[in-house]
Amino acid sequence: MIIMEKDATQEQIKYVVDEVKKHGLRADISRGEFRTIIGLVGDESRISFAHLAALPGVKEARMVETPYKLISREYSELFEGKDESHVIEVGDVKIGGDEPVFIAGPCAIESKAQLFRIAEEVKRAGAHVLRGGIFKPRSSVHSFQGLGSLGSEEATEALTWLHDAGQRFGMPVITEVRGESQVDLIAEYVDILQIGARNMYHQDMLSRIARKGKPVLFKRHFGASVEELLSFSEYIAAEGNKDIILCERGIVPVGKGKSYTRYTLDLAAVPVVQKETYLPIIVDPSHAAGRRDLIYSMSCAAIAIGASGLVIEVHYNPAEALVDAQQMITPSELGRVIETCKQINRVVAAGKKKVIAA
Ligand code: PEP
Ligand code: MN
């Protein structure tokens, strides 16, 4: 991390950046209200910090040992001069602001009629962003893989429906990118690119998605520690894309007996992540629980602990859904979740101002 003097000139900044590049590293330049910070991306042992510190216009060159830094609070505080969280704006929707954001829609898009009906009903229930899977990461090759797997024409058609449903009902749209070959196509149609839990560790795909310059929903792998979630999100930030929405969606259950839920929702990850990074974190109770009767309680808990929003799977007739039928709630149930969560958020936010953070 190179901290420039407050009055460092553009020439001095350029000189430092060129010096960084000469040593085979990349530079992440953050120009804040306060000062310019240059984050080094790559193997820092290739460059001498004493040499960097001596360059004109450099106030301090500091080695940061953590596996993530571009997304750390420490980093943003340096150039912003204050502790600010990052608010990601997608159209009119603000993610990470004062109000929780609700992302809702079917697990998988099955037809145009199904998607449009769900889109209309989730919008009425108060959702802000429309989700719908096209390239589904299924455990069995024998189950429905999403319309994306049927060929490029079907994929493009489904992407067009998603885009059009978003336009019609006034919601930005999101879908999962399952492989690198899908990145360019999907980025043409959606507002937010989703990286699913199974792909959290796929560095090349993260970089490629990041370079699209669109907001990314980054889901925690079910076997990943919080540190790994943050380290891997740094691959997105390293491409200059800081519009990363982190998502807690449950980790593997422990013990030999029945666990009763599909995964274990790690709620503590929410405030921990908020202390470590300025990025927003949301919660997916649908995949964590795997059962609809728990969605209301888990949603309330997630908002109470300070999540910036929720991703919830919704269907007007859950029983007929081709994927994840057991965890879908109806649009009217979604409406009740949203209404209660908004109230909880108001109460928690008001109380938080009075509590001294540890
Ligand atoms: C999804 O959101 O559609 C999904 C498959 O979730 P996850 O990657 O968390 O399993
Ligand atoms: Mn699903």
Identify the CATH number of the domain in which residue 158 sits: 3.20.20.70
Q: Are residues 175 and 208 in the same domain?
A: yes
Burial of 138 per CB tally in 10 Å (0-12, 13-18, 19+): middle
* pLDDT average, residue stretch 9-33: 94
Specify whether the CB–CB gap between 306 and 274 falls below 8 A.
yes
> How far is the C-alpha of 319 from the C-alpha of 328, rounded, in Å?
8
* pLDDT average, residue stretch 314-323: 97
**Does some domain include residue 71?**
no
Q: What is the pLDDT of residue 63?
A: 86
Q: Are residues 132 and 95 in the same domain?
A: yes
Ligand 1 pocket test, candidate residues 162, 216, 221, 284, most atoms within 8 A of CB: 284
pLDDT confidence band for 12 (50 / 70 / 90)? very high
Q: How far is the CA of 313 from the centre of ligand 1 (A)?
A: 10
Q: Are residues 9 and 49 in the same domain?
A: yes
* Alpha helix segments (H runs only) across the chain: 10-22, 49-53, 73-80, 112-125, 152-169, 183-189, 203-210, 226-237, 269-276, 285-289, 295-304, 331-352
Specify whether the CB–CB gap between 241 and 220 falls below 8 A.
no
Ligand nearest 324 Cα, by number? 2
Q: Which two tokens stand for residue 156?
A: 């493009």
For the CA of 220, the closest atom of ligand 1 is: 9
pLDDT tens readout for residues 49-70? 999 999 999 999 988 888 999 9
Q: How far is the CA of 137 from the centre of ligand 1 (A)?
A: 8
Domain containing 14 equals 2-63
Q: Are residues 37 and 115 in the same domain?
A: no
Instruction: Map residue 14 onto helix, strand or coil.
Output: helix
* pLDDT average, residue stretch 275-286: 97
Closest CA to 16 of 70, 52, 69: 52
**Does some domain include residue 79?**
no
**Does some domain include residue 82?**
no
Q: Are residues 59 and 106 in the same domain?
A: no
Q: Are residues 38 and 181 in the same domain?
A: no
pLDDT confidence band for 357 (50 / 70 / 90)? low
**Does some domain include residue 14?**
yes
Q: What is the pLDDT of residue 50?
A: 94
Ligand 1 pocket test, candidate residues 131, 175, 176, most atoms within 8 A of CB: 176
* pLDDT average, residue stretch 133-137: 96
Beta strands 58-61 and 216-219, pairing class: unpaired
Q: Are residues 174 and 250 in the same domain?
A: yes
Residue for token digits 């949301």? Answer: 282
* pLDDT average, residue stretch 326-345: 98
* pLDDT average, residue stretch 175-193: 97
- Ligand 1 first shell, C-beta below 6 A: 107, 133, 137, 176, 196-198, 219, 249, 284, 287
Beta strands 36-41 and 26-31, pairing class: antiparallel
Of the listed ranges 77-91, 120-134, 257-271, the least confidently predicted one is: 77-91
> How far is the C-alpha of 131 from the C-alpha of 149, rounded, in Å?
18
**Does some domain include residue 78?**
no
pLDDT tens readout for residues 146-171? 999 988 899 999 999 999 999 999 99
Kindly tell me if the per-residue pLDDT of 174 is higher than 60.
yes
Q: Are residues 117 and 47 in the same domain?
A: no
**Does some domain include residue 96?**
yes
* Bigger pLDDT: 175 vs 44: 175
Instruction: Map residue 315 onto helix, strand or coil.
Output: coil
Q: Are residues 245 and 331 in the same domain?
A: yes
For the CA of 197, the closest atom of ligand 1 is: 8
**Residue 258 Cα to chain centre, angstroms:** 30
Q: What is the pLDDT of residue 259?
A: 94
Q: What is the pLDDT of residue 293?
A: 98
Q: How far is the CA of 271 from the centre of ligand 1 (A)?
A: 22
Total number of domains constituting the chain: 2
Residue after which a domain boundary falls, among 14, 30, 63: 63
**Does some domain include residue 191?**
yes
Q: Are residues 212 and 321 in the same domain?
A: yes
Q: Are residues 6 and 98 in the same domain?
A: no
* Bigger pLDDT: 43 vs 222: 222
| Alpha carbon nearest to ligand 1 atom 9, residue | 197
pLDDT confidence band for 34 (50 / 70 / 90)? confident
> How far is the C-alpha of 345 from the C-alpha of 126, rounded, in Å?
15
Kindly tell me if the per-residue pLDDT of 356 is higher than 70.
no
Q: How far is the CA of 107 from the centre of ligand 2 (A)?
A: 4
CATH of the domain at 54: 3.30.70.1140
Q: Which two tokens stand for residue 141?
A: 């090759």
**Does some domain include residue 340?**
yes
Q: Are residues 39 and 134 in the same domain?
A: no
pLDDT over 90 percentage in the chain:
89
Q: Which residue type sits at 296?
A: Y
pLDDT tens readout for residues 112-127? 999 999 999 999 999 9
